[in-house]
């Protein structure tokens, strides 16, 4: 029974997260446990557990008498995600350049070429583009995660996963809506291949900082709306909401 509950929670978690990453649940979208459970054909308990996990990862947020919604990141949070991603991935790049085996370097070059081809082939039609972009961003995550995995440092890989830096990068890329420059990932992979940790570090820092200012500008209306909502919501109620969630009160409107 416990294993079944865990499986259902994981199923609900992945479905909701994928809908957020596809853009089907945009920033600020409300999330109802009952509605989601009905759509998935499961009880509200694993859905509630899934939403709590998503909240702990920073993808959704809950407030008393307001409910649960897809989190609208602040400008400070966006900058923070870029800072953490740069720190983790630049270290991964240094270690990869210094220690990766020849077959791993060839693998990263192949993944980079595949990824650049997918970005270049995104269709113009909105519906088709959104579906294809989801698969492109999955490949994008795999490319960057694979660089970390090839370092052989499990702690570094866990830090990348725990901080959700690639998931947030996916969200911000999707908010911009446009592909990176031609050959963007192949250029990075060729530097990683050269066994020069300093060059790999510098190239990765340029790569991870790319378009941060554009993301902040595009997200500014969302951030402003979030600040207005926060100002209208008393701090005492926000604190009580945190305590209530700590006691595992129901997440979001039933």
Domains (range + CATH), the chain: 2-66+233-246 (1.10.10.10), 75-215 (1.20.120.530)
Return the higher-pLDDT residue of 74 and 244. Answer: 74
pTM of the full predicted structure?
0.82
Q: What integer is the mean pLDDT of 137-152? A: 96
Lowest mean pLDDT among 21-35, 158-172, 230-244: 230-244
Non-local (6+) Cβ contacts of 234 within 8 A are none
Tokens of 190: 């060729």
60: nearest Cα among 164, 133, 214? 164
Mean pLDDT of the chain: 87
Q: Beta-carbon neighbour count of residue 33 at 10 Å?
A: 24
């Amino acid at each position: 029974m416990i294993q079944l509950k865990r499986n259902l929670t994981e199923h609900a978690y992945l479905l909701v997260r994928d809908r957020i990453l596809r853009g089907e649940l945009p920033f600020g979208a409300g999330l109802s446990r009952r509605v989601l459970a009905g759509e998935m054909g499961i009880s509200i308990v694993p859905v509630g557990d899934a939403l709590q996990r998503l909240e702990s990862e920073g993808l959704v947020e809950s407030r008393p008498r307001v409910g649960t919604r897809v989190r609208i990141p602040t400008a400070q949070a966006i900058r923070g995600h870029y800072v953490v991603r740069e720190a983790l991935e630049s270290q991964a790049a240094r270690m990869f350049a210094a220690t990766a085996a020849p077959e791993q370097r060839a693998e990263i070059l192949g993944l980079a070429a595949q990824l650049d081809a997918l970005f270049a082939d995104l269709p113009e039609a909105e519906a088709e583009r959104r579906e294809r972009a989801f698969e492109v961003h999955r490949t994008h995550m795999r490319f960057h995660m694979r660089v970390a995995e090839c370092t052989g440092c499990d702690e570094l890989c866990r830090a990348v996963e725990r901080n959700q830096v690639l998931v947030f990068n996916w969200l911000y890329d999707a908010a911009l809506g446009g592909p990176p420059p031609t050959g963007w990932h192949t250029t990075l992979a060729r530097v990683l291949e050269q066994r020069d940790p300093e060059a790999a570090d510098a190239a990765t820092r340029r790569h991870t900082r790319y378009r941060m200012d554009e993301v902040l500008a595009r997200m500014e209306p969302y951030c402003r709306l979030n600040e207005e909502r926060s100002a209208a919501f008393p701090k005492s109620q926000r604190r009580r909401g945190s305590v209530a969630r700590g006691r595992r009160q129901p997440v979001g409107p039933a």
